[in-house]
Amino acid sequence: MIDSNSILLFVADVPKSAGFYGQLLGQNPVEFSPTFAMFILPSGLALGLWGKAGVEPAPAATGGGCDVGFKVATADKVDTLHAEWQVKGATILLPPTNLDFGRTFVAADPDGHRLRVYNVAED
């Protein structure tokens, strides 16, 4: 039986990435070492940052091959978080935009991992 779920992102510099995510999420990691940091998101999902130099087997891909999604309750919240994340140093890959599923923006972390904030439009 699986007890919990997590996403592990392979990063070049754990302290730098932990600082970036701590600022974006407004929280400290629940676990932290020079090679690993873990955040617990409001949904209960664990977001781990693992220094890629110590991963076995070695990762074959770098950041940017998929999105880590952050669903928010309203389209206005997409715009609010976009402004906040931009001030906090996130690289914006796609400004707030209406797509077929709803409102969204995409940011990147220091390793190029894509972070998609979105709201699903009501039909």
The total of other beta-carbon atoms located within 10 Å of residue 82's CB is 22
**Predicted confidence (pLDDT) at residue 39 exceeds the cutoff of 90:** yes
pLDDT at site 49: 97
CATH number for the domain running over 67-120: 3.30.720.110
For the entire predicted model, the pTM comes to: 0.91
Would you state the pLDDT for residue 91? Answer: 96
Averaged over 71-97, what is the pLDDT? 96
CATH code linked to domain 6-54: 3.30.720.120
Q: Do β-strands 36-40 and 67-71 pair in parallel, antiparallel, or remain unpaired? A: unpaired
Residue ranges in the chain assigned as alpha helix (H): 14-25, 75-87
The domain locations on the chain are 6-54, 67-120
Mean pLDDT (the chain) is 94
Q: Comparing 6-54 with 67-120, is the CATH topology the same? A: yes
Across residues 98-110, what is the average pLDDT?
97
Half-sphere CA count of 68, side-chain side, radius 13 A: 21
pLDDT in tens, 53-66: 989 998 888 788 89
